[in-house]
Structure 1
């Protein structure tokens, strides 16, 4: 879906460009407006007065009382929503679904407000949706880079759109005197594969200019421009860097964006979105870098509802998912550095299993409620593994995953008040074709932790799209509702 783009012009006001009419790069008016060098036309001024109508709404949601749509928990619709669209996190989920779920809870409980917790906050979806409903929220995120993305996004309630635009221009101007002298041979190999020497020098110039501008702008503005920069990294690359798990250096993209242009486009999007939605965010948002398996400072019985999507037990490497960004930021230099990034994360991929003693873990008392079901899965995966070339440690992964989640459920039980609930978007798994009923095992662990009951509502089928899938086990995704 194409939306109008907010741009600034020399007198400091905001103008609107309709991408359907003005997206032609040969259109002189578009080029001037895009670069901030021209005043808007009369038509564009009129469109400015209808900004709240023509910009994407905060949530384009169905009726809260209506049935869940098949794609309700998925992230795809977020890319048309202000703030949520600033960074595409491939493990995200639907803000519309969060709004509908919290609204349903408030209606059933006869409450006007609630306190929300998301123990796997990701890029901040639940916190933003909660704030739009006037609800206070807490979010925990253990992955360092994704935590900073969420921390930047929640600044939207305090940031000044004009300051963002002015500061973005200043960064671009300052970048012209930096970055060019950096030796490309000293860059990590991944970056050399993903960018031309000129593009990488321009990106480094923006980075150095932004890092040098910390004393010239407030904290919210700096964090949002940091987000604008890291959100530009993939569009600026000429290789396969879509928001999937792996970077594909041998796959070439037809369309790319120049670093400075992409940075400014993202800054304009951020400023425009904030000008539309800032007044609509009334709930307090608190995001903490925290491992959900560890005790927290959230008071006992203080949470009305948990709304989240935990990592799936499907071998997705949440550390590798942002390796390009972390490499650019200097936080990892090689694949081996990801081991440190994985340490505070839920065990959800075979790469995380080096040195893990699954035979001891499965004897842990926290797994006693499900060991009769988990044990046979563990044994079958151990057997199948010996027949596969990769010999991936899926047998250990499923044990470690559910032991981690058993600990999470224990801490959630302490935080959620009597009468509260937890909503988990979950999907089942079939590593090496061995089905693992993730929803049911989660539910049993929740009940063992002290919750009253659970039920699962399927929202879509999985493992039906890809022709080259490695097994034919039907899978599903949906919402696990746990009553407190």
Structure 2
């Protein structure tokens, strides 16, 4: 959306993850008067010098990821932000500033968009105040350098790509996205550190009601045993183009599940994932113009070593939804640089292009 705005083009954004939606909404405040944002950050830092702290209420994840002295400083910044919080653009950008520094000040393994690794140590985490001031400067510089040649309309929707509710019919020329991969990565858990610190979840168990229920089912955590009827899912009309192959894959995964110690419900996850993505293509056909193009950055996967031809299946689902043709451009190979403890199946990643 920011790229579209930099070109003066209107855009829609659809985001179902509530925390990611708020981050995206904050980033769209690029027209803000920078002096207001800078003043707000300075006011937060000044208030944090005097505000009382209390770190006793934080959940174990936070206590394990931040040393007490660091958590005290972070807590002061959070409480100072709350003191001035008013839903204004400067308030939301200040909130984003705090959220953006959490991983850099933790002493454990907290790489962006990776699971938190409490047993992995980081060499030189930044001090919280220094990280906050540097991030505020970075955000201010980015906003100042942002080129917006004309007033473009950027509409961010808290919605679901499987329905695209809120996006007008026949309104979209180009879709650029990277959907969840069918690789059992828990996108709900990806922001648990930030959500736990900000008090939006108390633990892992809260993610189902708070986040996971809204997302495409790309992780076995979405589909515990007995939660869906596998035969009914595979028999869905929108899955007709890939039904026989999908049924065969799910059958193999059902057998392997009974043989593996973890007993992951990959059989259910794979079926639900492609049903969800089929519905995405159906929704996109409604909102896209006849001449529209779509670019999906996707990768294939191999749960329990069973290969899923994701790009081909996606393309066929797109054609079944009413799009004309598709082409896959491989950008890199995956699962070849080191030994995968789960399987040895070569994988790849690339761009799936779909036309009108």
Q: Do both share a fold (TM > 0.5)?
A: yes
Aligned residue number for residue 401 of structure 1: 273
The aligned residue for residue 326 of structure 1 is 195
Residue in structure 2 matched with residue 148 of structure 1 by the alignment: 22
In the alignment, what sits opposite 1:441?
313
Q: Does the residue aligned with 2:262 lie in a helix, a strand or coil? A: coil
| 2:338 counterpart of 1:483 | no
Deviations 1:228-273 (A, max 9, x none): 1001111111111121431111122121112122111101111111
Deviations 1:404-438 (A, max 9, x none): 11111111001111111211111111111100001
CA distance in 2: counterparts of 1:439 and 1:128, whole angstroms? 27
Q: Residue 268 of structure 1 corresponds to which residue in structure 2?
A: 137
Question: Unpaired segments of 5 or more residues in structure 1?
Answer: 1-126
**Distance change >3 Å, CA 143–CA 281, structure 1 → 2:** farther
Q: Quick one: distance in 1 between partners of 2:295 and 2:254?
A: 32
Deviation at 1:357, TM superposition (A): 2.5
Matching residue of 2:50: 177
CA RMSD, Structure 1 to Structure 2 (Å) = 1.5
| TM-score normalised according to structure 1 size | 0.71
Give runs of ≥4 in structure 1 deviating > 6 Å.
none
Contact 2:164 2:284 in 1 (8 A): no
Contact 2:333 2:349 in 1 (8 A): yes
User: How far, CA to CA, are the matches of 1:153 and 1:466 in structure 2?
Assistant: 36
1:344 aligned onto 2:218: no
Any residues of structure 2 matched to 1:191-206 within 5 Å, and which? Answer: 191-206=62-77
1:253 is aligned to 122
* CA-to-aligned-CA distance 1:100-154 (integer Å, 9 cap, x gap): xxxxxxxxxxxxxxxxxxxxxxxxxxx1111122211100011111111111111
Say which SS state the counterpart of residue 353 (structure 2) adopts: strand
Q: Is the 1:429–1:475 contact (alpha carbons within 8 Å) kept by the matching residues of 2?
A: yes
Distance 1:460 1:320 in 2: 26
Counterpart selection for 1:426 from 286, 298, 307: 298
* 8 A Cα contact 1:424 1:481, kept in partner: yes
Provide, for residues 263-320 of structure 1, a one-character-per-residue CA deviation record: whole Å limited to 9, x for no partner.
1110111111111114457532211111112351222111111111111111110001
**1:114-263 alignment, distance < 5 Å:** 127-156=1-30, 158-180=31-53, 182=54, 184-215=55-86, 219-263=88-132
Task: Give the whole-Å Cα distance in 2 for the aligned partners of 1:294 and 1:436.
Answer: 25
Give the C-alpha shift of residue 370 in structure 1.
1.1
Cα deviation for residue 465 of structure 1 reads 2.3
Q: Which residue of 2 aligns with 1:417?
A: 289
- Residue 214 of structure 1: how far off its partner (Å): 2.7
Structure 1 residues 450 and 179: CA distance shift in structure 2, 3 A: farther
The whole-number CA distance in structure 2 between the counterparts of 1:311 and 1:281 is 33
In 2 relative to 1, CA 391–483 (structure 1 residues): closer, same or farther, beyond 3 Å?
same
CA distance in 2, matches of 1:279, 1:170: 28
Equivalent residue in structure 2 for 1:372, among 244, 250, 260: 244
Secondary structure (helix, strand or coil) at the match of 1:250 reads strand
Which secondary structure does the structure 2 equivalent of 1:347 belong to?
Answer: coil
Q: Give the match's secondary structure for 1:185.
A: coil
Match of 2:335 among 463, 467, 477: 463
- What is the rounded CA distance, in whole Å, between the counterparts of 2:145 and 2:65 in structure 1? 35
* Equivalences for residues 56-67 of structure 1 within 5 A: none
Q: Alpha-carbon deviation of 1:329? A: 1.1
Match of 1:308 among 177, 198, 212: 177
Secondary structure of the equivalent of 1:425? strand
CA contact (8 A) 2:8 2:148 kept: no
Q: Which has the higher contact order (CA 8 A, sep 6+)?
A: 2
Q: Distance in 2 between matches of 1:187 and 1:458?
A: 44
8 Å CA contact 1:460–1:477 kept in 2: the answer is yes
Residue pair 1:300, 1:414 contacting (<8 A) in 2 also = yes
d(CA) in 1 for partners of 2:40, 2:60: 31
Report if aligned partners of 1:454, 1:483 keep a CA contact under 8 Å in 2.
yes
Normalised TM-score (structure 2): 0.95
1:357-394 Cα distance to aligned partner (Å, 9 max, x none): 22221111121221012111111111112111111111
